[in-house]
C-alpha cells in the first residue's frame, strides 16, 4: 500500500523507527517552550542593558570629589555571566526550535490525513470504488414492437394500414360515405326543381345501383374495419402489458443496482473514516523525543516547572 502521509518521524519517540526512545507530549513540549521563552526574554533584557562604563556627574562646588554615579558598568567578575546568558539564550532557542518543529510536524501529518480524499485512499489500497448506476431510458411501445417476430411485426403494421385504409373510406367526410348519403336522399326525393316559370329546371335522379347493394358494401367495409381495429387493439393491449412488465423489471433492476451501490459505498466510506480516525489517533499519541543535547535543558526547565 502506498503511504498517503509524509511521515516525518524523526521527532517522535514511540514511532516505529524510535520505539525505544522516551518522549514528552505536545502539551508538555508547548508548556516547557513557553517557560524557555520567558527565560529568553529575561536574559535578553539583561543583555540589552549591557554597559562596560561607569558614569558620574560632578556637581560644581560639591564636597564629593567623585561626583554622583549615574551609570554602572559590568564589573570584571560579571563578564563571565554575559557569556553564560548568551549561551542560555541559544540553548533555550534550540529547545524551542526543536519542540516547535516537532509540534508542527504532528499538526502537518494530521492535516494531511484529514485532506486525504476517498479516491486517493481507495487507489492506495487497490480498492475499486463503485460507480453510481445509470438509469436506462424509459421503455416505450416501440421497444416492445422491436422485440416482435417478423410475423408479429408484419401483422401489426398490416393491421395498422388496413384499419387506416378502411377507416378512411367509411369516414363520414370521405367520398363513399358522402355518395351513400346522397343516394339515400334521392331515394326519398328523386325530383328537385330550380327557378320559376319558363326558367324552371326540373332535376330527376335515379339510383345507378341498388341501395341495398351499397349498404352491403358499406356494412362490409365497417365489418372489415372493426375486425382490423379489434385485432390491432388486442395486439396493442398485449404490447402494453409486455411494456408494463418490462418497465417493472427495469425499475427493479435499477433499484437492486442502486441498493448494491449504496451498500458498497457505505462500507467503503466507513472503512475510510475508520482509517482516518486511527491515523489521527496514532499521530496524536506520538511523543516528542528530547535529544541528548537538549536533555540538560529539558531537566532544567522541568525543574523550574516543579517549583
- How many CB atoms within 10 Å of residue 31? 15
| pLDDT digit string, tens, across residues 63-115 | 666 667 677 777 767 677 778 888 899 999 999 999 999 999 999 989 999 99
Question: How confident is residue 19, by pLDDT bands cut at 50, 70 and 90?
Answer: low
- Contact indicator for 258, 179 with CB cutoff of 8 Å: no
Q: Does residue 17 carry a pLDDT above 60?
A: no
Phi, psi of 59, rounded to the nearest 5 degrees: -105, 120
| pLDDT digit string, tens, across residues 239-273 | 999 999 999 999 999 999 999 999 999 999 999 99
- How many CB atoms within 10 Å of residue 203? 10
Alpha helix ranges (H) inside 49-131:
79-115, 118-124
pLDDT number for residue 3: 65
Q: How far is CA 279 from CA 7, 10, 18, 111, 132, in A?
A: 11, 17, 18, 11, 29
Q: Where in the chain is the domain with CATH 1.10.287?
A: 141-265
Architecture category of domain 141-265 in CATH? Orthogonal Bundle (1.10)
- pTM score > 0.85 for this model? no
Amino acid at each position: 500500500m502506498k503511504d498517503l502521509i509524509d511521515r516525518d518521524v524523526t521527532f517522535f519517540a514511540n514511532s516505529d523507527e524510535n520505539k525505544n526512545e522516551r518522549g514528552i507530549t505536545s502539551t508538555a513540549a508547548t508548556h516547557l517552550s513557553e517557560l524557555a521563552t520567558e527565560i529568553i526574554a529575561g536574559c535578553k533584557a539583561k543583555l540589552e542593558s549591557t554597559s562596560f562604563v561607569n558614569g558620574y556627574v560632578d556637581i560644581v562646588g560639591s564636597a564629593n570629589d567623585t561626583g554622583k554615579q549615574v551609570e554602572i558598568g559590568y564589573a570584571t567578575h560579571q563578564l563571565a555571566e554575559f557569556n553564560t546568558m548568551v549561551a542560555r539564550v541559544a540553548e533555550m532557542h534550540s529547545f524551542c526550535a526543536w519542540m516547535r518543529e516537532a509540534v508542527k510536524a504532528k499538526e502537518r501529518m494530521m492535516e494531511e490525513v484529514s485532506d486525504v480524499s476517498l479516491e486517493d485512499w481507495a487507489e492506495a489500497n487497490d480498492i475499486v470504488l463503485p460507480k453510481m448506476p445509470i438509469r436506462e431510458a424509459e421503455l416505450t411501445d416501440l421497444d416492445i414492437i422491436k422485440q416482435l417476430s417478423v410475423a408479429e411485426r408484419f401483422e401489426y403494421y398490416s393491421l395498422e394500414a388496413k384499419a387506416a385504409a378502411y377507416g378512411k373510406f367509411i369516414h363520414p367526410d370521405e367520398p363513399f360515405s358522402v355518395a351513400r348519403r346522397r343516394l339515400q336522399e334521392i331515394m326519398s326525393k328523386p325530383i328537385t326543381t330550380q327557378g320559376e316559370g319558363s326558367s324552371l329546371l326540373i332535376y330527376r335522379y335515379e339510383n345507378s345501383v341498388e341501395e341495398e347493394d351499397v349498404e352491403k358494401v358499406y356494412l362490409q367495409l365497417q365489418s372489415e374495419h372493426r375486425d382490423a381495429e379489434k385485432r390491432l387493439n388486442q395486439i396493442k393491449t398485449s404490447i402494453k402489458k409486455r411494456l408494463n412488465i418490462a418497465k417493472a423489471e427495469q425499475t427493479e433492476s435499477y433499484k437492486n443496482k442502486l441498493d448494491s451501490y449504496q451498500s458498497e459505498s457505505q462500507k467503503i466510506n466507513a472503512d475510510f473514516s475508520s482509517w482516518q480516525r486511527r491515523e489521527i489517533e496514532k499521530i496524536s499519541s506520538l511523543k516528542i523525543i528530547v535529544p541528548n543535547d537538549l536533555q540538560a535543558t529539558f531537566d532544567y526547565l522541568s525543574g523550574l516547572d516543579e517549583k
